[in-house]
Structure 1
Amino acid sequence: MRKIWICGAKGQIGQAINEIIDKLEFKVLDTDIDDLDITDTDEVLRFGEMNRPDIIINCAGLTNIEECENDISKAYKVNALGARNLSIIARKLEAKLVHISTDDVFDGKSDQPYNEFDETRPQTAYGKSKLAGEQYVKEFTYKHFIIRSTWVYGLGNNFINDLLEKVNKGETLAIASDQFGSPTSAKELARFILHLIDTNEYGTYHATNKGVCSRYEFAHEILKLTGKEAQMKAVPTHLSDFSKVRPAYCVLDNFIMSMTPVYTFPSWKESLKEYFKERGLYNEK
């Protein structure tokens, strides 16, 4: 039985992996911030050598954009040095490493989807620290899968939950109409990850649900699928209720996946409907 160590197991992707993984096929080692400090090199090495996982999945990270801007040192410590430490033990154990990254490694100023070979130009502390983590993974390991995604939602803090909370309070919503991305299901990412670890197709992947929408269109679809009603207006980012520090254009091209047919993602609307049905929030009219 292979061992999988999931760092950041309480996050959206960590929970999604635990939800669908076959526990008869894998022994799962879950850790989160209260169990293990990935920024502590010795602690990471001790845990790795004691448990000797075959696969390490790094879902851990400081993802709050504003917190990263306010504490740049902490952002790099978690997102860069944490990734470095996991990479060191992965190489020592000859384990495969899956590292979750982000579209924020790009500047968000394009009008065309970013592929894996486009130049990275992060503009935020979050994006810069995540790119530094990617570079450590490439430096210290050779059996790695770096997965960049965008607008991820699942169990935990995300745009959907924040939006519905405001709707339930009867608040008027101001949603950015000038931000574009591909809403991506954490569960679909989990399926992709579990498929990928059985291959030797190492490298960097863009992994998002198919299709593109504005943040406003995303919010409109959320209300439609849940049958909820709210006053909602389309506004520029600087006037919006959410995502004021996000890049304007977050669209990723799953280019490598199109050349190496390891997996095919469904449309974002299809996965969003599945998410609401599973959570008992789908309202079929």
Structure 2
Amino acid sequence: MLKVWISGANGHLGQALCTRLDREKYQLIATDVAEVDVTVPAEVRAFADANRPDVIINCTGFNDEDGCETDPDRAYRVNALAPRNLALAADALGAKMVQFSTDDVFAKASHHPYNEFDAPAPESLYGKSKLAGEEFVRTLCHRYLIVRSAWVYGIGRDFVSTVLNAAADPTCPWLAVPTDRFASPTSADDLTAAVEQLIDHDTLGIYHIVCQGRCSRYDFAQAILKAAHMEDKLELHPIRAADAGSTPSYTVLDNLMLRLDNLPQPRPWKEALNEYINSLQ
């Protein structure tokens, strides 16, 4: 039975993985910052040496894009140095390191989906700090799995809950949503199922895991309301990303490595979204 250390287990992604991973196959060790501050090398080394996990999964992260811009020290400490510390500990034990990353490691002005062989070129500080974490893991740990995903929902406060809460609020008659930001909405269920599959196969390398297809943020909001039968509860105002203090972006990911390895892909994004919203009702 593999011993799996999940760091950041109290976060949304950590909780989803703790729920997903089969307890008959894995012995889970779940920690959060109260037990181990992964930004402190000595704490990571001591915990890893005492527990000797076979797999270390890093679910910690500073994912607030605006917050990263205003507090770059925290962004690099959490998104880069924490993965470095965990990668060093994993390599010392011969363990496998699983690191989560993002579509934001790529340039935003593409017109084609990015696969795992495309060169990253992050523009935001969030993307730069996540790429720095990737690079630490790749260079410091021989046995690593880096998982990039995008627009993940179904794990706490996310875009789906934002739209549904706005639709249920009689004091919120409309919501402004960009029409020029594109990616692949991804169900947490599909993401964690694919990660478990990769762990089961002892797969190494960089993998994109997103639900199939792509849409704009505006299309996504429309699909959420339609699936929830709430189209008449909220008016969507199409805007440009610049009007919302953001930039246009096309960071659609292609699950090329899953296809090359003949591994199952996540579902089409609308199918996964409809099932998730039906589960809420």
The letter for the 2-side match of 1:230 is L
Q: For residues 245 and 147 of structure 1, what CA distance do their matches in structure 2 show?
A: 25
Task: Show the counterpart of 2:234.
Answer: 230
Counterpart residue number, 2:270: 269
The answer to whether 1:207 aligns with 2:209 is yes
Go from structure 1 to structure 2 and tell me whether the alpha carbon gap of 1:50 and 1:194 turns closer, same or farther (over 3 Å shift). Answer: same
Write the deviation string for residues 55-93 of structure 1: whole angstroms up to 9, x where unpaired: 111111100101100000110010000000000110011
In the alignment, is the contact (CA less than 8 A) between 1:62 and 1:78 conserved in 2?
A: yes
State the aligned residue count: 277
Counterparts of 1:74-153 in structure 2, within 5 Å, are 74-153=74-153
When residues 73 and 10 of structure 1 are mapped into structure 2, their CA distance, relative to the original with a 3 A threshold, is same
Q: How far apart are the structure 2 equivalents of 1:190 and 1:135?
A: 23
Change (3 A) 1:90 1:247: farther
2:189 to 181, 187, 190: 187
> Is this contact kept in 2: 1:96–1:197, CA < 8 A?
no
The 8 Å contact of residues 17 and 187 in structure 1, kept in 2 or not, is answered as no
Residue 35 of structure 1, CA deviation: 2.7
Q: 1:187 to 1:5 in 2, by over 3 A?
A: same
Please, which of 178, 194, 219 is the counterpart of residue 176 of structure 1?
178
What do residues 239-264 of structure 1 show as CA deviations (whole Å, max 9, x unaligned)?
Answer: 34xxx546611201111112111232
Which runs of no fewer than 5 residues in structure 2 stay unpaired? none
Any conservation in 1 of the 2:111–2:250 contact (CA below 8 Å)? yes
TM-score, L = length of structure 1: 0.93
- Calculate percent identity across the aligned residue pairs: 42
Could you say which residue in structure 2 is the equivalent of 1:62? 62
Partners of 1:208 and 1:273 in 2: CA distance? 16
- 1:260 equivalenced with 2:261 (yes/no): yes
Segments of structure 1 that go 5 or more residues without pairing to the other structure are: none
Q: Within 1, Cα distance between the matches of 2:246 and 2:141?
A: 32
Counterpart Cα distance in 2 of 1:27 and 1:187: 20
Matched AA of 1:232: L
- Contact conserved, 1:68 with 1:75, CA < 8 A, in 2? yes
Work out the CA distance in 2 between the residues paired with 1:26 and 1:217: 39
Q: CA RMSD in A?
A: 1.4
The worse-fitting range, judged by mean Cα deviation, of 246-255 and 178-187 is 246-255
CA distance in 1, matches of 2:273, 2:105: 25
Q: Is the CA contact 2:166–2:234 (under 8 Å) kept in the aligned structure 1?
A: no
Separation in 2 of the partners of 1:197 and 1:135? 20
Task: Please say which of residues 221-230 and 75-84 is displaced more in the overlay.
Answer: 221-230
- How far apart are 1:102 and its partner, in Å? 0.4
Distance change in 2, residues 1:115/1:123 (3 Å): same
Report the CA distance between 1:277 and its aligned residue: 2.7
Q: 1:164 to 1:3 in 2, by over 3 A?
A: same
Counterpart CA distance in 2 for 1:246 and 1:28 is: 40
Q: Which residue of 2 aligns with 1:22?
A: 22
